[in-house]
Structure 1
Amino acid sequence: MRGVRSLNGINRRTLLSTLALLPSLSGTLVPAAAQTKEPGGLLPSWNEGPAKQAIVDFVRVTTEPSSPTYVAPDERIAVFDQDGTLWVEQPVYTQVAYCLERVPAVVAKDPELRNVEPFRTVLSGNREATANLPLRDLENILAATLTGMTVEEFQSEVSSWLETARHPRWNRPYTELTFQPMQEVLRYLQTNAFKTYIVTGGGQDFVRVYAEKTYGIPPEQVVGTAGTTKFGYGQDGKPLLTKEPKLLLNDDKAGKVEGIHLMIGRRPVAAFGNSVGDREMLEYTRGGQGTRLAMLVLHDDASREYAYGPAAGLPDSKIGTFSPALYDEARKQGWTVISMKNDWDRIFAFEA
């Protein structure tokens, strides 16, 4: 996406798909050398196999000074999609849950909205009816819940919601539903002087509220879908920024690459995703010179998490779609596909 666009510039399919549904490396690697084990073992939540080995080999050959594929610390950029890559994205994206659950609070401030669409439909709890709302009504939900307040007010509202909101399946805070194996990868890379970024289709301001506490990634290292803000002064005369209903960057698909250039300014050497929305980011990462790591998480464990694709014969999903074409490209390009079922010994930190 280029330039500033209003909310009505958002692709309808993207909006509906969110609101309605409430191994290998480039270059030659030398054989893996013995590594010093951390307490509990290196990447302890990973099963031994090609996926884990790809990560270990990549870190070794890019950080050992004597390696011909050594990468200087300034160039050690690793990017991670969030929804479906770092934490649960089913049955709806967390930010969508936030927007829908914020509607009652919006109506409480302006009771006349109770009988006005789309607020009346959302308050009814009818998901099918919500899915059939016109695009303009869906945009109104976003505008009412994500804009029209100061940046600080929005941060406070999201923080308060995260303290009480629970995922319907596990009845746990959303911030506890991060994937333990990916948390270990983040820490492993950070320990080896990689700078880790979240590059997400979700709202940049939304993710920045919890990224540092949840992932050890500071706000300035979060690249997401961003709206414009307007500088002004409050009633007390103090300067402030107000969130406006205008889209600045749609950080999805090709927009992720554009966001990386805009916000980071360096081509990543490692990229992690899980869906068709991450394809361009992985292509861009692997398109650079030297050793590169590209990995995709395949959700194929319905008993411990969810199973959806439709790649590998899994059920189709509009949330986090992993298409057969993406799976074929991964195999052709040498990207590593991570099987949650086979490659992860445990998925969540709270598992026994």
Structure 2
Amino acid sequence: MIKKIFFLLVTLFLFVSCKKSDALIAPSSDTAQSETGIIGDPLPSWNKGALKSDIIAYVEKVTKKGSPDFIPIEDRIATFDNDGTLWAEKPYVQELFAFYRVQKMVEAKPELAKKQPFKAVVEKDKSYFEKGGDKALIELVAATHTGMTEDEFEASVAEFYKNAKYPGKNVPVKQIRYQPQLELLNYLRANGFKTYIVTGGTIEVVRGISQDFYGVPKNQVVGTSFKYKYDPAKNAIQREPALNHFNDKEEKPAGIQLHIGQRPVFACGNEGGGGDIAMLEYSQGNKYPSFQLLVNHNDSVREYGYQEKDNASLNAAAKNKWHVISMKDDWKNIFTGK
């Protein structure tokens, strides 16, 4: 996490205006939707093979009335991690937003540039975050994500996504979404699944784009949250600089229970920090037939190639017989618009 901060300190002010992208995504020319599902190839950006066939076979068997594996529509819950699962995570968009907030807050109150953690960001002081570790990072997020009403924060999130470009690729943030995953979300929804985003990122930042980027309503986002208080004078909700729930690793099942109230039958995460192991294990304990997917970032040409040092996620996938997505072999295209 801290290494990512170092990289982002260099790219802090690389945000430039860009024209807002079009709506979520138009169905591919060889894909048509109907009231009962998708006609033709439901996953055109996925290469033919065992994984694609297994996904389709699973959806068909659990949605076919009379099938011994039939899942009632109210129990068709699908959860997806966001960073590294639905869009690229090198660097984290959450961190880009934090640095964007530093820029805006210092512009409004120049005296903040003399105070930590703002000073470290403005002066690109890597040592501050190196010495402070995760505590310094949380301090930065708390300072830039709180102390305002929800309406004010949501407006800031909207402005960030409107203007930000992704460092390294120089494209609008919207274009780092994974095309195959958008198709998978659409396919599941066309077959009665309710799709949720279960992220380690802050819930409000992801809510700001969940509908537009993924077709997921904001009330179907589960994420890290801060404490709130009601301000009767302003008749508004105020955000406080204290974490309420850190939605990562073993806390993801707890977040799912809190916000959704039932185990997902379909769960998808990614290899890259071990953050999704617990969510996939939790899904596997469902009383209905379940399906677990893990994205393996093994395409250094089209995306990024990286692995966990302890290989925990891939080891868990092998042990529990989860399905692993090889970005290199299973996806024809990776990013939208390409």
Fold shared, TM-score > 0.5 on shorter chain: yes
- Does structure 1 conserve the Cα–Cα contact (< 8 Å) formed by 2:129 and 2:136? no
3-state secondary structure, aligned to 1:230:
strand
The 3 A distance-change label for structure 1 pair 100 and 133 is farther
Cα distance, 1:169 vs structure 2: 2.0
Cα distance, 1:104 vs structure 2: 2.1
Q: Name the structure 2 match of 1:16.
A: 2
In the aligned structure 2, how far is the partner of 1:245 from the partner of 1:156?
A: 19
| Equivalent residue for 1:332, pick from 319, 322, 331 | 319
3-state secondary structure, aligned to 1:120:
helix
Q: CA RMSD in A?
A: 1.9
Q: Name the structure 2 match of 1:141.
A: 140
Cα distance, 1:77 vs structure 2: 0.2
Residue 314 of structure 2 aligns with an amino acid whose one-letter code is Y
Q: Name the structure 2 match of 1:243.
A: 239
In the aligned structure 1, how far is the partner of 2:139 from the partner of 2:112?
A: 12
Residue 268 (structure 2) pairs with residue 268 (structure 1) = no
Q: Name the structure 2 match of 1:308.
A: 306
Residue 38 of structure 1 aligns with an amino acid whose one-letter code is I
Q: Name the structure 2 match of 1:119.
A: 118
In the aligned structure 1, how far is the partner of 2:64 from the partner of 2:136?
A: 55
The 3 A distance-change label for structure 1 pair 140 and 333 is closer
In the aligned structure 1, how far is the partner of 2:139 from the partner of 2:247?
A: 20
Cα distance, 1:36 vs structure 2: 8.7
- Does structure 1 conserve the Cα–Cα contact (< 8 Å) formed by 2:80 and 2:195? yes
TM, length-normalised to structure 1: 0.83
In the aligned structure 2, how far is the partner of 1:328 from the partner of 1:145?
A: 37
Cα distance, 1:223 vs structure 2: 0.2
More displaced stretch, 116-125 vs 45-54: 116-125
The 3 A distance-change label for structure 1 pair 150 and 133 is farther
Q: Name the structure 1 match of 2:178.
A: 179
In the aligned structure 1, how far is the partner of 2:71 from the partner of 2:84?
A: 28
In the aligned structure 2, how far is the partner of 1:156 from the partner of 1:269?
A: 35
Q: Percent identity?
A: 40
In the aligned structure 1, how far is the partner of 2:187 from the partner of 2:63?
A: 12
Cα distance, 1:248 vs structure 2: 1.1
The 3 A distance-change label for structure 1 pair 137 and 277 is closer
Structure 1 residue ranges, 4+ long, deviating more than 4 angstroms after superposition: none
- Does structure 1 conserve the Cα–Cα contact (< 8 Å) formed by 2:277 and 2:316? no
Question: What is the total number of aligned residue pairs between the two structures?
Answer: 308
TM, length-normalised to structure 2: 0.86
More relative contact order, 1 or 2 (CA 8 Å, 6+ apart) = 1
- Does structure 1 conserve the Cα–Cα contact (< 8 Å) formed by 2:38 and 2:187? no
Q: Name the structure 1 match of 2:44.
A: 44
3-state secondary structure, aligned to 1:101:
helix
Residue 286 of structure 2 aligns with an amino acid whose one-letter code is G
Q: Name the structure 1 match of 2:209.
A: 210
In the aligned structure 1, how far is the partner of 2:123 from the partner of 2:76?
A: 49
The 3 A distance-change label for structure 1 pair 37 and 71 is closer
Residue 296 of structure 1 aligns with an amino acid whose one-letter code is L
In the aligned structure 1, how far is the partner of 2:185 from the partner of 2:163?
A: 26
Residue 279 (structure 2) pairs with residue 281 (structure 1) = yes
In the aligned structure 1, how far is the partner of 2:38 from the partner of 2:187?
A: 12
Residue 186 of structure 2 aligns with an amino acid whose one-letter code is R
| Equivalent residue for 1:299, pick from 297, 300, 316 | 297
In the aligned structure 1, how far is the partner of 2:37 from the partner of 2:267?
A: 25
In the aligned structure 2, how far is the partner of 1:217 from the partner of 1:72?
A: 21
In the aligned structure 1, how far is the partner of 2:96 from the partner of 2:3?
A: 13
Q: Which runs of 5+ in 1 are unaligned?
A: 1-14, 23-34, 311-315, 317-322
Q: Name the structure 2 match of 1:72.
A: 72
In the aligned structure 1, how far is the partner of 2:6 from the partner of 2:79?
A: 28
Q: How does 1:341-352 map to 2 (within 5 A)?
A: 341-351=328-338
Q: Name the structure 1 match of 2:13.
A: none
In the aligned structure 2, how far is the partner of 1:274 from the partner of 1:57?
A: 22
Residue 242 of structure 1 aligns with an amino acid whose one-letter code is Q
- Does structure 2 conserve the Cα–Cα contact (< 8 Å) formed by 1:286 and 1:292? yes
- Does structure 2 conserve the Cα–Cα contact (< 8 Å) formed by 1:82 and 1:199? yes
Residue 344 of structure 1 aligns with an amino acid whose one-letter code is W
- Does structure 1 conserve the Cα–Cα contact (< 8 Å) formed by 2:291 and 2:322? yes
3-state secondary structure, aligned to 2:39:
coil
The 3 A distance-change label for structure 1 pair 18 and 231 is farther
Residue 97 of structure 2 aligns with an amino acid whose one-letter code is Y
In the aligned structure 1, how far is the partner of 2:137 from the partner of 2:246?
A: 16
The 3 A distance-change label for structure 1 pair 71 and 36 is closer
